[in-house]
Structure 1
Amino acid sequence: MNDAELKLLIENREFHHVFQPIRNLSDRSVFGYEFLIRTSKFENPEALFTYAKNKNMLIDLDIAAIFNAYITFESYQQEFMNARLFINIYPSTLTDPDFLNVLESLQSLKAISHVKNEHVVFEINGSEDIPDFSALKKVVALLKQNNYLVALDNVGEGRSSLRASLELEPHFVKLDRYFSKDLANSEKKQKLIKSLLGFFDGKTTTLVVEGFEEGCDVAAAKEIGVQLGQGYLLGRPKLSP
C-alpha cells in the first residue's frame, strides 16, 4: 500500500468496527463494548496503525475511526442500550491541536445523535510513549469536563503506562493480558492485582483485566475482587453487539 492508497482508505473509511464485550465478572452481564477496527487491506489491525504512524497519518486514521464508531453506534443503538462504548485512541492524537476540532464536532453531534458523552470511553493506547504528560493531562481534563470517560489500555506493557495511570487519573485502567494468563496458578500475579485493586478503589478508577481465555483464571480474578473482565472466553469480537 502506498501513501495515496492509505489516504483513500481513511477518507473512504474502507474499514469497519467489531465489538468485544467487557463484562461484569459477578454475573457476566455486559458493562460495555470495545470498538475494534478491521479492514480487508490489513490482516493485522496493529499493522494498519503502525503503517499510518510511519506515514504521518495516524491522527487522520484515529479521527476517522472515532466518527465511524459514532455512526456504527447509531446503527445499533437499541442493542447497545446503556453500555459504555470504549473507543481506542493514541496519546499523540489527543495532544494534536486538531483534536480540539474533533471534540467540537462531537459536541455538535449531540443534537442529532443518541450517543451520550457519559457513555463514551476514550481508551488511550498505553503502548505509545507519551512525550508530553502535561499536554495530555490538559486534554484528559477537558474530556472529563465534557463528561466523557477515560480509560488507559495496556497497563503493564508500555514504559509510560504506570506513570500515566497515576497522573491521568483515568476512570478505567485495563491490565494487559499478561496478568490474566495463568492467574489461577500465579500467587504473585494475584498479589499484584490485589494491591492494584487496593489502590484503584473502584469509585474513581476501576480495574479491568484483559485477555481471559480460561474459566479458572476468571474465577481467580473474581475471587480476589476484580469487577470487570475482557477476553475471548467472555466474548470474541463480533460484527454486531
Structure 2
Amino acid sequence: MENIKTIREKLAHAEQWAPWMEELESDDRKAVQKLVFSWKRRQAIHEKLLRDHTQKQQFDDSFKGYADWTVAGIDEAGRGPLAGPVVTAAVILPDQCPTLLGLDDSKKLSKAKREYFADEIKRIAISYAIHIQPPDEIDRLNIYQATKQSMAKAAATLEPVPKILLVDAMLLDIGIPCESIIKGDAKSLAIAAASILAKTGRDAIMAAYATEYPEYGFAQHAGYGTKGHVEAIRLHGPTPIHRRTFEPVKGILADG
C-alpha cells in the first residue's frame, strides 16, 4: 500500500484519469479520499477552462473570411471614473494561444492574474497597441466620442492591418470591417486580451497618480466616484486629472 506522500506526488503529476486511480477510490483512508476529491475538482476546473478557451478562440475564428485573416480585439478601461484617462487597447493574437488558458474579462481576474496575462499577451501577440485618452479630451469630446476616438487610434497602430475588428460594445468607422460585440470580453479571446492590457495599463497610471495626489485615495478607487473620493474633491477641489464635465465634479466646480 502506497503512503500518502507518494499518492499526493503521483496525483500532482497526473493529467488524466488512469487505471491505477481506481484503486484509490476504494482506499478507506480519509486522506486518500481527500486527495482524489481534490484531483477531480482540479480536473473539472481545468476542463472548464479548456472549453471556455476553445469557445473564445472559435468565436474569433468565426469572423474570418479566410484562414489567414487577422482578427483584432479592442476594449477599454475607465469610462466611468471621475478622474484619470480612458485607456484602450487593440490586440491581434496568433491562431493558437495555449498560454492564455484562463484568460477572461479583466474584472473577473485577480490583480496577479491580470499582470501575468498582460505580460504573456505582449510576449505572444502578433501586434498590440495601447492608447491613453486624457481627461481634457474626455471633457472636450464627451466620454463616448473620446473612447471611440481612442479605440480608433489604437486600432490604426496595429501592424499588420487587421482584416476585421471585434470591439466591445462599440462600432468604429476606420475603413476596416468592424463588429460590435456585447459583453465581448466574455466571448472573444482577442477582446479579453485587449481588456487585460487596457485595465493593467490604466491601473499603472492611477497608481502613479495616487503618489502624486495622495489625499484623493486613487490607490483604493482608481478614480471612481466613491463616497470618500467625492468628499476629497469637496475638501481639496478637483485635480488636473479630474473630469470637469462629470458630476459631481461639475457641480462642485459650479458651487465654487
Larger radius of gyration: 2
Hey, which of these two has a bigger chunk of helix by percent?
A: 2
Instruction: Normalising by structure 1, report the TM-score.
Output: 0.29
Hey, which of these two has a bigger chunk of strand by percent?
A: 1
Instruction: Normalising by structure 2, report the TM-score.
Output: 0.28
